[in-house]
Chain A
Amino acid sequence: MTTEPTAVIHDIGYRHYDGVRLGRGRATLALGVQSLRGVFGLGRTTRAKIMPLLLVAIMLMPTVVSIGVMALAKQYVMPYPGYAIFMQAVIAVFLAAQSPYLVAPDLRFRVLPLYLSRPLTVTDYVLAKLTALAIALFGLLAVPLTIQFVGELLVDLPGPPHTGDYLGALGGAVLFALLLSTVSIALASFTPRRGLGVAVVIAFFMFTAAVSTTFFAVLSVSGRDSVAPWALLLNPFFLVDSVQSALFGTAPATGEGYPSGIASCAILLAVIALAVTGVLLRYRKAAS
């Protein structure tokens, strides 16, 4: 009796791929999703998860406190529109820590030519990276605001809920996301070194905050009250706040009021345009 082999290993050799090939848009989307996950440390090492999760936790603290105060003291202590300004240091740290992660390694380890040898253009790449950071930042602001709003509705404060404030703050979060992410990516993309990128971005936010406060104080003391508010706009956080109050009618977080809503809007758009152009030019150069 012959014994039949019960299992055979076949070397099936090389197999060609004849499945679907998606377009440029889907590749860009995949890059954006991968980048967005990476910003929060998902799909990365445990060490890379610590910083973003810590910052998310810090961002949620005022929300928890605020809901607690609303529940116990029945008071609306932390207005929604001022949340981003109140947390600006944490947001700056988040941007400084995460924006170089998005752009620096691809430059430093020269992965960019691999992207460009595929059906992706420089513009697609930049778009994916900018969108990923903008969505991340929007989420970082919108989630605590939304939790607080849900908390407010559940606590049922005396008087009508602050729906207008909440929606205005969400609109503001979109503006913060657009401005701060483009500026951060623009700054971070100029160096292939991640550490340097972190330093440059955090220095930018510290510098603008310091300069804006100093100029404002000096101008106010020297009696030039009409010019002083313009100095506030040097700080990107106050710039967005001024546009937020102009567009959505929220109370200015500084309590001082801003010079002109239209001018603020124009400055905001100009800065975003400048940052995006800078990034595109930088990548055109890197690609050649």
Chain B
Amino acid sequence: MTASATPCFATEGLTKRFPRVTALDDLTVAGGTGVTGLVGANGAGKSTLIKILLGLLSPNSGSASVLGLDTATQGFEIRRAVGYMPEHDCLPPDMSATEFVVHMAQMSGLPRTAARERAADTLRHVGLDEERYRPMGSYSTGMRQRVKLAQALVHDPKLVFLDEPTNGLDPQGRDEMLALIRRIGTEFGINVLVTSHLLGELERVCDHVIVIDGGRLLRSSAIREFTRAEQTIAVEVEEGQQRLAERLTAGGETVAAQGRLLTVQVAADDPGRTYDAVRDAVCDLGLSLLRLEQRRGRIEDVFKEPVA
């Protein structure tokens, strides 16, 4: 499944040069509904692309559209319909999250009463409770990221641009943020374009991933394409990893050891056979099973191709 019939955003031969660097180089890409990941190293052109899509920066050549609107001429309409969470810090420390999000809702054109309601709702959805009445100067990074996300969602946009939302978060905060992004794309029904320089974290939440490097498109594919390609299960046992591997291999399974984990390739023709084999092997050998989980093929592996 690639981009749907009406792409959320699309670019055509987009090129943006700054005096000292070419940020985007003839980039043609489209993103459909759901959660789209935009991956690239720092300086790959992700933020530049978002600014062009917001209609804040004009490209040297090429064109771009968002929700069917032309970024060159309809930037104003685009900015009414989208939300934007910048990569950098953007919160005045002496305001409370509530005041700030209400204000930003008004800046998007919501009347004051509606702005208050929406701000309370949105802050609750991103998981900010009593602390939302405190000045934001005292917030942790995780809380600040949540407020930044709330101000991007408060006016109920059709599409949000999230620029590096997991930046600076600890592993747990990262997981929570990613789960939240997944919810925005599914439960909230808001299309998401999320950037990250970490490919691994996007595979968990995205429907579609676009990889750019040096302003050029490296690859654009739906997540399902690679998950179908390689289904594996990971098994971790307390002791006897070696014996388990031998037993499974003898039974005709493809097994590989990754540190303390055994990864077993799921038989494409008969998936149930592999699961049964693992269960029986663990039982018969009397091993203590620590972990048994489904693994999708890592996008990282798929993209590990020579970079042009």
Residues of B within 8 A of A (CB): 54, 56-57, 76, 79-80, 82-84, 86, 88-94, 99, 103-104, 106-112, 114, 118, 121, 125, 151, 155-156, 183, 187-189
Q: Chain A contacts of B84 at CB under 8 A?
A: 113-114, 117
Q: Does A8 contact B (CB under 8 A)?
A: no
Q: Which of A16, A26, A105, A114 contacts B104 (CB 8 A)?
A: A114
A30, B107: Cβ atoms closer than 8 Å = yes
Contact B114 A27 (CB under 8 A): no
A174 in the interface (beta carbon within 8 A): no
Residues 269-288 of A, flagged 1 when their CB comes within 8 A of B and 0 if not, give 00000000000000000011
8 more A-B contacts (CB under 8 A) besides A17-B118, A109-B92? A14-B187, A16-B156, A20-B114, A24-B76, A26-B109, A30-B103, A115-B107, A119-B109
Residues of A near any B CB (own CB < 8 A): 13-17, 19-24, 26-27, 30-31, 34, 43-45, 48, 105-106, 109-111, 113-120, 287-288
Given contacts A105-B92, A110-B86, A117 and B109 within 8 Å (CB-CB): no
Given A14-B187, A109-B91, A118 contacting B108 (CB threshold 8 A) = yes
CB of A117 within 8 A of CB of B189, answer no
In the complex, what distance in Å separates the CA atom of A17 from the CA atom of B80? 13
Known: A21-B110, A34-B103. A119 touches B86 (CB 8 A): no
- Establish whether residues B107 and A109, one from each chain, have CB atoms under 8 Å apart when the complex forms: no
- Whether B114 contacts A45 by the Cβ 8 Å rule is no
State the Cβ distance, A132 to closest chain B Cβ, in Å: 14
Q: Roughly how many angstroms separate A34 CA and B112 CA in the complex, as a whole number?
A: 12
- Is A114 touching B151 in the complex (CB atoms < 8 A)? yes
Complex contact A17–B156 (CB within 8 A): yes
Q: A30-B106, A113-B90, A118-B104 given as contacts; is B56 within 8 A of A14 (CB)?
A: no
Given known A-B contacts A14-B125, A114-B84, A19 and B110 have beta carbons under 8 A apart: yes
CB of A27 within 8 A of CB of B86, answer no
Which of A24, A45, A119, A288 gathers the greatest number of chain B CB atoms within 10 Å?
A: A119
A22 & B109 in contact (Cβ 8 Å cutoff):
yes
Q: Shortest 8 CB-CB distances between A and B: which pairs? A: A17-B156, A117-B84, A30-B106, A14-B188, A22-B109, A21-B109, A118-B107, A109-B92
Contact (Cβ within 8 A) A23 B109: yes
Greatest chain B CB density within 10 A among A22, A27, A111 is at: A111
Q: How far is the CB of B151 from chain A (nearest CB, A)?
A: 7
Of A24, A115, A116, A117, most buried by chain B (CB within 10 Å of CB) is A117
For B155, give its contact among A14, A17, A26, A111 (CB under 8 Å): A17
With contacts A21-B80, A118-B108, A119-B108 taken as known, whether A109 is within 8 angstroms of B56 at the C-beta atoms is no
How far is B112's CA from A258's CA once the two chains are assembled, in angstroms? 49
Give the residues in chain B near A44, CB-CB below 8 Å: 94
Check B89–A109 contact: CB distance below 8 A. Answer: yes
Provide 29 A-B residue pairs closer than 8 Å at the C-beta atoms, listed in order of the A residue: A14-B183, A14-B187, A16-B156, A17-B110, A17-B114, A17-B118, A17-B156, A19-B110, A19-B114, A20-B111, A22-B111, A24-B76, A27-B106, A27-B107, A31-B106, A31-B107, A43-B99, A45-B94, A48-B94, A110-B89, A111-B90, A111-B91, A113-B84, A113-B86, A113-B90, A114-B104, A117-B84, A118-B79, A287-B56
CA distance A15 to B188 in the complex (A): 8
Question: For residue B56, which residue of chain A has the nearest CB?
Answer: A116
CA distance A270 to B82 in the complex (A): 40
Bound-state CA distance A13–B186 (Å) is 12
- Please, how many angstroms separate the alpha-carbon atoms of A185 and B48 in the complex? 30
Bound Cα distance A119, B69 (Å): 14
- Asked whether B86 lies within 8 Å of A22 as measured between CB atoms, the reply is no
Whether B189 pairs with A110 at a CB distance below 8 angstroms is no
* B79 x A117 contact (CB < 8 A): yes
Q: Complex: how many Å from CA A114 to CA B150?
A: 12
Q: Please report the C-alpha to C-alpha distance between residue A288 and residue B110 in the assembled complex, in whole angstroms.
A: 26
In the assembled complex, the CB of A123 is this many whole angstroms from the nearest CB of chain B, namely: 12
Chain B's nearest CB lies how many Å from the CB of A33?
Answer: 9
Bound CA span A116–B86, Å: 12
The docked-state distance in angstroms from the alpha carbon of A30 to that of B104 is 10
Give chain A residues whose Cβ lies under 8 Å from the Cβ of B188. 14
Contact residue among A15, A43, A109 (Cβ-Cβ distance under 8 Å from B90): A109
How far is B84's CA from A66's CA once the two chains are assembled, in angstroms? 55
Q: Could you tell me if A27 and B90 are in contact, using CB atoms closer than 8 angstroms?
A: no
Collect the chain A residues with CB atoms within 8 Å of residue B108's CB.
21, 27, 118-119
Q: Is the CB of A109 within 8 A of B93?
A: yes
Min CB distance, B144 to chain A, in Å? 11
| Chain B residue nearest to A117 in the complex (CB) | B84
Given contacts A110-B88, A111-B90, A119-B80, contact A16 B189 (CB under 8 A): yes
